[in-house]
Amino acid sequence: MSAPPDLDSVDHDLLGLLQRNSRRTLAQLGEEVGLSAAATKRRVDRLERLGVITGYTVRIDHEKLGWTLEAFTELSVMGHSRMAEIEAAARDLPEVLRIFTTAGDPDALVHLRVRDMAHLRHAVDQLRSSGQVTGTKTLMVLSVWEPPERPTRPAP
């Protein structure tokens, strides 16, 4: 495990700005943090090189696509299962957004997005059909709140 690279407040501001809108131009970015476009490019290039910025992506409104339901399924698995095996139990479902293996009880938390209740039922059935899984408990998501994106913060 390597020590975190030392980033100053300008770097953190840039990350916050890019997180809100990665299509700002270098000139715009520079203006907001008080740097020239060239200097800003050097900062951003460095953040990419350090692996702090791992990619550029697009935010998609999945509700608009008809995938309107989210859920979390808590998985309990056989005592001898290794983490990789737990992940394998859920990895192949297209409904899976993320799999979190966890310490304690339950053993994993599977974040799902589905079209409707029938679809959720089907996805949970798939999870339960894995040989590793000994039990599930599903929480249906009623609402999601996300914080406004702010500058990232240093780890002192």
Q: Which of 19, 21, 36, 102 binds DNA (CB under 7 A)?
A: 36
Q: Does residue number 5 form part of the binding site for DNA (CB under 7 A)?
A: no
**35 binds, options a copy of itself, DNA, none, Cβ within 5 to 8 A by partner type:** DNA
For residue 47, give Cα distances in angstroms to 5, 28, 86: 9, 18, 33
Helix 9-20 with 37-49: angle, nearest 10 deg: 90
# residues contacting DNA (CB under 7 A): 14
Q: Tell me which residues in 32-51 interact with a copy of itself (CB under 8 A).
A: 50-51
* Omega before residue 5 within 30° of 0, cis: no
| Amino acid at site 15 | L
Rounded to whole angstroms, how far apart are CA atoms 72 and 32?
39
Which region, judged by CB under 7 A, interacts with DNA, from 39-47, 77-85, 130-138, 141-149? Answer: 39-47
Q: Per CB under 8 A, does 62 bind a copy of itself?
A: yes
Measure the CA–CA gap between 105 and 83, rounded to whole angstroms. Answer: 14
* Residues in contact with a copy of itself by the rule CB under 8 A: 4-5, 7, 15, 18-23, 50-62, 64-67, 70, 72, 83, 87, 91, 94, 96-104, 106, 109, 115, 139-147, 149-150, 152-155
